[in-house]
A and B are shown apart, each in its own frame.
Chain A
């Protein structure tokens, strides 16, 4: 255990030593240990082979062009990326301070090392002095300060504003050093810096990145047409390990995944961004593709706005939860390919998950609560959804409709096209919103349920919940963090903010000759390690 060293060469953080002892005595598992050590700036190296990693053991080959089927959206401002697809386009040219791999282990990236104060409120990041921008400028602390100040500015519309609301100061402490000061301890700060809205833009960024696509990344943008294609070419002068592929072509094939599979099957594209359960049988029948599967903490949040009638009455919200049959929704809408949710939006695949018991279905209790709330004859509700990830969202809502009918709740479904749902996702009183994977439950809860959060679509506000969340976010030790999460999850479950039926398995597919493509649980696809056999 003595071989562990910090990336910066400074002595181990006191909590790192404590983690070592806990791991040595079997108090925590290996993955939790590595994650915690990485947060504290300890070099943990590769975390081992990952599911969804294609043939990583072969010797990589340089050259070639890879075609990626993916929606091509505008790439204007990295901190405003609301879709993972657009953040993946940025990802080829813009880099992050840290990198979180498919096992949720944090690694150095633009920051080569970091150290935290004992109380986890002062974080010193050493930037990689080799990093340069594609326009020839050196990568400097001013770049980091420029970005973080934009994220947390009073008029910022980015989700980073909520995610990093604990940041009180960011300052230059050396030619390649930055200090971030927090108002409260946040142990997972390095991990959060790999959120999809945290790509570091040049200090001279003027508001429309595609017009002047300067980046530190391994590719440069050659062409970008919304709704059609984006082309990236390998940068020979890249400061780090060069990419294997000469060119990356992202092709917009529309929303129908069957067309994506047809294009993959006929050799027109090499990798699909995502497939769903609806295409699973078709994928299995195709002999000339590789199917990628994995688990992730992504889900549907069927959330109720707690300040809107009738959801301002907790009895109504509880009745909805009690009438909903999560198991049936998983079995019918996603053919059982996933794990059950328990209405508190933390998944078993997240390291800070605490196994808080789900409240079982009880239609009689739901009816009684409705009668008590003044709805003895049931009530009419409207649920808005946009099938943003596929038809399975609507299938889930239809099962819920049947479930609620048993309790006398007449649910009307308002199904919108995906692009019409996003403008109103946080405005409708009762809506189905897809939430992408985040490595930690606290990261999702901080964005979605903290009082006044930018993405708090349910308008939930509970000081007790916020305090419990703060406590959990300040802990490095996985077991202590998990124990703190028990309180967080229990409060959220008992306040009946959402029906969160299940965690669907992830599916994608690639051509047989694609190597090194990692099915990252957050869909954060780095393409510099991908090559064609």
Chain B
């Protein structure tokens, strides 16, 4: 299958997924129009005010008509008004997504650089002291959930040593110091997991015939690793990395909330807590979009890493 056909097929699947999810989101949040009116106008609104608002905003129409209109509005960028933040949803989400992308970028850098390096180093010489030390570090960092490591790291670097800021609001603009702790928490958690996966993959590849042949030909270890083993050993770790993307962009609620980082995760949390209906809908749609796009990206990267993988094969 050509790249163009592959992309078309994947895009069609992504669109179908988005439409199906959008229907479920709309069904869950807007099937009861009385609740919608209360959430938008507040608990102190009168029944007359709610009835007038519902009529004015087309809520007297059948459910399917309302859904199609909402979907069309979403596609054209009209995401409604946040009832809690009192601002257009579109204007709320984009800067928050950008903030989360900065955090995700930093975390991904830590995860990829340290996770892959440690995994490769450990997998090059299985059973060595270095392998064992790295394995222990990996197991420890993976075993500690992010909310616990956030507390530990704050306890050490904020309260005890006083070296780092305790909140990461970025209220006065971008601050690298404020990024260190949330990036470290996210990085530590996933880095260990990636290192373990990379190590296992590396050990497999180092045992293959072509690596043995390269050794017999007298190639140095660094040449064997960099020229022959690494690319094939990366396929599984890349899957792990790509799975981190949607989590880093839209799922790091705990870390963002703990450090008061005003990213997409905090926005989703605030939207859910305050029953901000239009913001929840938009956040949910963006989260799904991030997942489907990252899946397409990971398929493309597989193909680049290993041209033998058929892009058209059914997963």
State in angstroms the CA–CA spacing of A261 and B171 once bound together. 17
Whether A285 sits at the interface, judged by CB under 8 Å, is yes
Residues A249-270 near B (CB distance < 8 A): 249, 251-254, 256, 258-269
Shortest distance from the beta carbon of B260 to any chain A beta carbon, whole Å: 4
* Centre residue among A249, A253, A286 by max chain B CB count within 10 A: A253
Residues A408-424 near B (CB distance < 8 A): 417-420, 422-424
Chain A residues with CB under 8 A of B87: 225-226
- Is the pair B171, A251 in contact by a Cβ cutoff of 8 Å? yes
State in angstroms the CA–CA spacing of A288 and B166 once bound together. 14
What does the 1/0 interface line of B252-277 toward A look like (CB < 8 Å)?
00000111101000100010011100
- Is the pair A266, B262 in contact by a Cβ cutoff of 8 Å? no
- Is the pair A259, B165 in contact by a Cβ cutoff of 8 Å? no
Whether B86 sits at the interface, judged by CB under 8 Å, is yes
Partner of B165 from A226, A266, A417, A420 at Cβ < 8 Å: A266
Chain A residues with CB under 8 A of B46: 155
Whether A227 sits at the interface, judged by CB under 8 Å, is yes
Chain B residues with CB under 8 A of A264: 166
Chain B residues with CB under 8 A of A422: 43
Partner of A259 from B43, B84, B167, B171 at Cβ < 8 Å: B167
- Is the pair B257, A256 in contact by a Cβ cutoff of 8 Å? yes
What is the interface size of chain B, counting residues whose CB is below 8 A from a CB of the partner? 29
* Centre residue among A157, A266, A282 by max chain B CB count within 10 A: A266
Chain B residues with CB under 8 A of A423: 38, 43, 275
**Interface contact tally, CB-CB below 8 A:** 87
Shortest distance from the beta carbon of A72 to any chain B beta carbon, whole Å: 10
Chain B residues with CB under 8 A of A424: 43
Across the two chains, which residue of chain B brings its CB closest to A229? Answer: B171
Chain A residues with CB under 8 A of B273: 417-420
- Is the pair B154, A226 in contact by a Cβ cutoff of 8 Å? no
- Is the pair B166, A265 in contact by a Cβ cutoff of 8 Å? yes
What does the 1/0 interface line of B28-57 toward A look like (CB < 8 Å)?
000000000010000110100000000000
Shortest distance from the beta carbon of A507 to any chain B beta carbon, whole Å: 17
- Is the pair A263, B165 in contact by a Cβ cutoff of 8 Å? yes
What does the 1/0 interface line of A387-428 toward B look like (CB < 8 Å)?
000000000000000000000000000000111101110000
Chain B residues with CB under 8 A of A228: 169, 171, 262
Q: Which stretch (B156-164, B198-206, B224-232) binds chain A?
A: B156-164
- Is the pair A420, B275 in contact by a Cβ cutoff of 8 Å? yes
Whether B210 sits at the interface, judged by CB under 8 Å, is no
- Is the pair B158, A226 in contact by a Cβ cutoff of 8 Å? no
State in angstroms the CA–CA spacing of A22 and B248 once bound together. 70
Chain A residues with CB under 8 A of B304: none
Chain B residues with CB under 8 A of A267: 165
Whether A74 sits at the interface, judged by CB under 8 Å, is yes
* Centre residue among A229, A252, A259, A260 by max chain B CB count within 10 A: A259
- Is the pair B166, A74 in contact by a Cβ cutoff of 8 Å? no
Residues A139-173 near B (CB distance < 8 A): 155, 157
Chain B residues with CB under 8 A of A74: 84, 86
Partner of A419 from B85, B169, B274 at Cβ < 8 Å: B274
Contact A253 B159, CB 8 Å, known A226-B86, A227-B85, A417-B273: no
Chain A residues with CB under 8 A of B86: 74, 76, 226
Contact A226 B166, CB 8 Å, known A259-B258, A417-B273, A419-B275: no
Shortest distance from the beta carbon of A263 to any chain B beta carbon, whole Å: 4
Chain B residues with CB under 8 A of A155: 46
Residues B49-91 near A (CB distance < 8 A): 84-87
State in angstroms the CA–CA spacing of A263 and B170 once bound together. 12
Chain B residues with CB under 8 A of A327: none
Shortest distance from the beta carbon of A283 to any chain B beta carbon, whole Å: 11
Across the two chains, which residue of chain B brings its CB closest to A72? Answer: B85
Shortest distance from the beta carbon of A421 to any chain B beta carbon, whole Å: 10
Contact A261 B166, CB 8 Å, known A74-B86, A80-B44: yes
Contact A262 B159, CB 8 Å, known A419-B275, A420-B275: yes
Partner of B260 from A157, A226, A249, A252 at Cβ < 8 Å: A252
State in angstroms the CA–CA spacing of A422 and B262 once bound together. 24
Contact A227 B275, CB 8 Å, known A254-B260, A259-B260: no
14 extra A-B contacts, CB within 8 A, seeds A266-B162, A417-B273: A227-B84, A227-B85, A253-B167, A256-B258, A258-B154, A259-B167, A259-B260, A262-B166, A265-B159, A265-B162, A266-B158, A266-B166, A269-B167, A419-B275
The 20 sampled A-B contact pairs (Cβ below 8 Å) are A225-B85, A226-B85, A226-B86, A251-B171, A253-B169, A254-B257, A258-B154, A259-B167, A259-B258, A261-B166, A262-B158, A262-B165, A263-B166, A265-B162, A265-B166, A266-B165, A288-B162, A419-B275, A420-B275, A423-B275
Chain B residues at the A interface, C-beta cutoff of 8 Å: 38, 43-44, 46, 84-87, 151, 154, 158-159, 162, 164-167, 169, 171, 257-260, 262, 266, 270, 273-275
